[in-house]
A and B are shown apart, each in its own frame.
Chain A
Amino acid sequence: MIHDHGVLPAEPEKATLEGRNKVLGFWLFLGGETVLFGSLFATYLALKESFVGGPSPEELFDLKIVALATILLLTSSLTSVFGVMAMHKHNTKLMQLWFGITVILGAGFLGLEVYEFYHYYHEGHTLTSNAFGSAFYTLVGFHGGHVAFGVTWIALLQAQLAKKGLTVVTAPKFYVAALYWHFVDLVWVFIFTVVYLMGKVGA
């Protein structure tokens, strides 16, 4: 293990074979995640007009909340980029700040989603109300689950960073978590496009 700051290379996440393999393996995982979300999107697209017995997407969605959620998630992607840049400068304090902001923004996004789902539930749009409901909650809920996982993961990594400091062991974890976070943001781009905006366009 390397603890001496003088030896830590500029890009500590790529300094060891283990670190590089972690990044490569994570990309292959993201390829699989693409397939997972793709199949959920295909299901949603197939079932989105089957809203008999409940409100239609057009009646349901509120673009203001979606726009706010999008801005929160996009900004959190930017702050995680800044976190990785701080890592490349070996600035642990700045890393904690940027990743901390990322976690807070992610939690804000989750809060909005919980509020949104609660609201929908009271309008008669539930997981079991119709096929549209099932497809909607599975797709958007899976994404929300990813956000919740990412928030927890990054927060735990921050605790580990505070305890162990920045090393060639902790650095790849942050790099990979940042990749995951960008991917979650990327999936949201398609969710707000395909689910919310296309839902507003109507049948």
Chain B
Amino acid sequence: MGNINLENAHPQPKINKSHGIGVKGHLVAFALSIVLTALAFIGVIYFGDDRSFVIPYIIGLGIVQALAQLFIWMHMSEKGHLFPLVGMVSGVVVILPVILMGLYLCWW
């Protein structure tokens, strides 16, 4: 832990440049999350009878919100996030077939 050399550390200015989302951007992202959540709740309350519409609709909203949070709040859109992306995508690639197969075996 003692041999930290700041002079040879990562080139800072580059990272700073890609870090430009700011307070405003985060407030917009927060508002977007609230709106997407509200849309999902409203959809279920008013169109709950129409399952074939509502279920894809709320799942779609959930995926949009997840992507927004990954890329805005978890800094995935910044530079140097290729490996994090590989990590997350490989997780999804492993689990998505499992979920789909479970659904297929149980419900179709």
For residue B33, which residues in chain A have a CB less than 8 angstroms away from its CB? 74, 77
- Tell me which of A10, A24, A45, A193 contacts B16 (CB under 8 A): A10
A-side contacts of B69, CB under 8 Å:
77, 182, 185-186, 189
In the complex, A81→B73 CA distance in Å?
Answer: 7
A2 at the binding interface (Cβ < 8 Å) = yes
- Across the interface, do A46 and B106 meet the contact criterion of CB distance under 8 Å? yes
Q: List the count of A-B residue pairs having beta carbons below 8 Å apart.
A: 154
Shortest Cβ distance from A58 into B: residue: B48
Complex contact B41–A197 (CB within 8 A): yes
Tell whether, in the assembled complex, residue B58 and residue A186 are in contact, meaning their CB atoms are under 8 Å apart. no
Chain A stretch 51-94: residues in CB contact (< 8 A) with chain B: 63, 67, 70-71, 74-75, 77-78, 81-82, 85, 88
Given A1-B4, A27-B84 in contact, is the A190-B66 Cβ separation under 8 Å?
yes
Q: A41-B99, A43-B102, A63-B41 are in contact. Are A77 and B87 (CB under 8 A)?
A: no
- Using CB atoms, name the residue of chain B closest to A37: B95
Asked if B83 and A27 make an inter-chain contact with CB atoms under 8 angstroms apart, the answer reads yes
The interface residues of chain B lying within 8 Å CB-to-CB of A2 are: 4, 6
Known A-B contacts A15-B9, A179-B74, A183-B74; the reply to A63 vs B2 at CB < 8 A is: no
A14 touches B54 (CB 8 A): no
Say whether A169 contacts B1, CB under 8 Å: yes
Q: How far is the CA of A200 from the CA of B61 in the complex (A)?
A: 16
Number of interface residues of B (CB under 8 A): 54
B18, chain A: closest CB distance, angstroms = 11
Pick from A33, A39, A186, A194 the residue with the most CB of B within 10 Å: A186
Rounded to whole angstroms, the CA-CA distance of A20 and B94 in the bound complex is 26
- Rounded to whole angstroms, the CA-CA distance of A34 and B88 in the bound complex is 7
Can you name 20 A-B residue pairings with CB atoms under 8 Å? A7-B6, A14-B9, A15-B6, A16-B4, A18-B4, A30-B84, A30-B87, A38-B96, A41-B99, A42-B103, A46-B102, A63-B44, A82-B23, A82-B26, A85-B26, A182-B74, A189-B66, A190-B66, A194-B59, A197-B40
User: 10 nearest interchain CB pairs?
Assistant: A38-B95, A34-B91, A31-B91, A27-B84, A31-B87, A42-B102, A193-B62, A42-B99, A46-B106, A28-B87
Binding site for A on B (CB under 8 A): 1-2, 4, 6, 9-10, 12, 15-16, 19, 23, 26-27, 30, 33-34, 37, 40-41, 43-45, 48, 51, 54-55, 58-59, 61-62, 65-66, 69-70, 73-74, 83-84, 87-92, 94-96, 98-99, 101-103, 105-106
Q: Which residues of A contact B (CB under 8 A)?
A: 1-2, 7, 9-11, 14-16, 18, 20, 23-24, 27-28, 30-35, 38-39, 41-43, 45-46, 63, 67, 70-71, 74-75, 77-78, 81-82, 85, 88, 168-169, 179, 182-183, 185-186, 189-190, 192-194, 197-198, 200-202
